Structure 1
């Protein structure tokens, strides 16, 4: 399975941090947010990655390059300074993603989980997507969608994690250009063609400097505890 990391957002809520750095390169726990994703994908055996970029995208390319230093292979999808929104970015990247279902992750989230559970999730032939939903965080108490058995429904209840598996053919009807993902997901939900799972993990939307700072503190504390444990052993 290939994976696409969405890294083209402007990151307005992160300003001024994102005035000179794309949001996925902001550091927590000693490494950029996007590097956490890449390392966990590699551990799950997902080594063929596609990353889109827009705002300050060349800095992402300069830092990650071909991915060789991380043991992965990165293909780049440049969208220009304005970006194409999520569905538009996926549509443009289809030639790089191939014909099989692929995993998509938001570049500005962090989660503590084995990514094998994403790569091992089958997508039914009749489904356009499989989404992972999480409990609503404090900043988004109303949620996005609901789960009824294994179907995602268009009513508030849980929050979309920004992680999903998609069928490439489902995006082919879109004309190249700017497209938001949410309206397309809702359209697919009307025909019950979106599967879903509840993700029980430490999941964080790193959308503000305060949340980035908190994640950095938490990861540093965990690292210090591990170091003390190794010294004690």
Structure 2
């Protein structure tokens, strides 16, 4: 199985920490955020990981190498000076991800979700991990019903962890329409409209993770996560 890690964001809310370090390379408990993902992916049996990059793209390979440290093979997919958003980033990475379902993770989150709980073959087009709403996002994103289907109604928060079939992106132009950036090569567009369109077709499943999850969107959240992980390691 292969995986994609979204690591192309500009990290603007994390300045000045991200002036010289891309957000996924910021360290918590002694190692970069993205390294926590790589460890868990390797433990799952993933063998290849695509990392999309933009801001400070040249920092990733010196920090992570070719992935052999984790028993992985890393591919760096540069998006240019302006990130392609999540949808465009996934579309740009598809040639490296192959034809089988793949895992996609936001590079700027930390979560103790057991990736082994993800289906290798989702019933629909994608399978999402949802979490309880954090204080900075109280309304949530989507609703999970008793059958395990995800709906476009705010209730829980999308964790940034999911499994996708490559077919999920088929016909993306019809969903995105003439949104700014969609006419570019490679195109720039968000993933959320495609997810919502597939939800209306009942083709997105999900799971509610009740454990720990942090969207590392501010220096304060980074510091709090670092302290929590260090305390957990100490005892």
The alignment's TM-score, normalised by the length of structure 1, stands at: 0.92
- The worse-fitting range, judged by mean Cα deviation, of 19-28 and 69-78 is 69-78
- The worse-fitting range, judged by mean Cα deviation, of 19-28 and 216-225 is 216-225
Query: How many Å separate the matches in 2 of 1:23 and 1:217?
Result: 18
For 1:151, which of 149, 154, 164 is the aligned residue? 149
Count of aligned residue pairs for this structure pair: 222
Kept in 2, the 8 Å contact 1:142–1:156? The answer is: yes
User: 1:90 maps to which residue?
Assistant: 90
SS in 2 for 1:187: helix
Q: 1:113 to 1:156 in 2, by over 3 A?
A: closer
Query: How many Å separate the matches in 1 of 2:57 and 2:41?
Result: 21
Query: Following TM superposition, by how much is the alpha carbon of 1:121 offset from its aligned partner in structure 2, in angstroms?
Result: 4.6
Aligned pairs for 1:1-233 within 5 A: 1-118=1-118, 120-124=119-123, 127-149=124-146, 150-174=148-172, 176-225=186-235
After superposition, what is the alpha-carbon deviation per residue over 1:120-161, rounded to whole angstroms, capped at 9, x for unaligned?
Answer: 45312xx11111111101110000010112111111100000
User: 2:180 maps to which residue?
Assistant: none
RMSD (Å), alpha carbons: 1.2
Query: Following TM superposition, by how much is the alpha carbon of 1:179 offset from its aligned partner in structure 2, in angstroms?
Result: 0.8
SS in 2 for 1:17: coil
Query: Following TM superposition, by how much is the alpha carbon of 1:70 offset from its aligned partner in structure 2, in angstroms?
Result: 2.0
Question: Structure 2 stretches of 5 or more lacking a match?
Answer: 174-185
SS in 2 for 1:132: strand
Q: 1:122 to 1:201 in 2, by over 3 A?
A: farther
Kept in 1, the 8 Å contact 2:101–2:120? The answer is: no
Query: Following TM superposition, by how much is the alpha carbon of 1:190 offset from its aligned partner in structure 2, in angstroms?
Result: 1.3
Query: Following TM superposition, by how much is the alpha carbon of 1:222 offset from its aligned partner in structure 2, in angstroms?
Result: 1.6
Question: Structure 1 stretches of 5 or more lacking a match?
Answer: 226-233
Query: How many Å separate the matches in 1 of 2:91 and 2:113?
Result: 28
